[in-house]
Amino acid sequence: MANLRRGLITGSFDPCTKGHENLIKRAVALFDCVDVVIFQNPQKKYLFSLEERLSFLRAVCQKYPTVTVGSSAGMVVDYVKDRGVCAIIKGVRDEKDFLYEKEMAAYNLEHGGAPTLLLPAEKEIEGVSSTLVREALAKGMLPKELLPREILPLVAKTYNLSPK
């Protein structure tokens, strides 16, 4: 059996957005299998628990049989080596994202051996971010236009909001 081309999508997914969903869909078309992994940063405060974020990702990814959802407290470069990842896939919305991801890509290539594939956000989702979702939730609003439909009821339940 030939080696599978394994892609890796990393992030905090706090929460998973339509932008993440789009990136996953595009990665599935390019790789034999895709790992979507929440990398935990102990220095960072999250709105949603790890368990909630994993359940959101599982709900969004259930339609893709070649996607594996997980989490790691380790380093991306170690994950890349351990799992035989051939590329890290990152979405970029603007120049700021590009400059940050370019720097991370150089580090990951040098230390992990896998290149990073930077995919520009499609026009209709280039303004979508987890930060905007968290800001709307803090105001008591459910930002339906930013969230995948699969997780709307889950997020609404957490915040006691109507999913309709």
DSSP, residue by residue, 7-42:
EEEEE--TT--HHHHHHHHHHHHH-SEEEEEEE--T
Find the domain containing 29 and state its range: 6-159
- The answer to whether residue 34 sits within a structural domain is yes
More confident residue, 160 or 48: 48
- The answer to whether residue 95 sits within a structural domain is yes
Q: How far apart are CA 126 and CA 140, in angstroms?
A: 24
- The answer to whether residue 70 sits within a structural domain is yes
Alpha helices in 34-75 (DSSP H): 50-61
Question: Which pTM was predicted?
Answer: 0.93
Does pLDDT of 94 surpass 60?
yes
- The answer to whether residue 15 sits within a structural domain is yes
Using pLDDT thresholds of 50, 70 and 90, give the confidence band for residue 1: very low
- The answer to whether residue 71 sits within a structural domain is yes
- The answer to whether residue 1 sits within a structural domain is no
Long-range CB contact pairs, 94-102, < 8 A, 24+: 94/126
The CATH number of residue 118's host domain is 3.40.50.620
pLDDT of 47 reads 92
- The answer to whether residue 164 sits within a structural domain is no
- The answer to whether residue 123 sits within a structural domain is yes
| Sign of the CA dihedral with 66 first, then 88, 126, and 72 last | positive
Please state the domain count of the chain: 1
In the block, which residue shows the tokens 């609003």? 141
Contacts of 27 (CB under 8 A, 6+ apart): 7, 9, 34, 89, 119
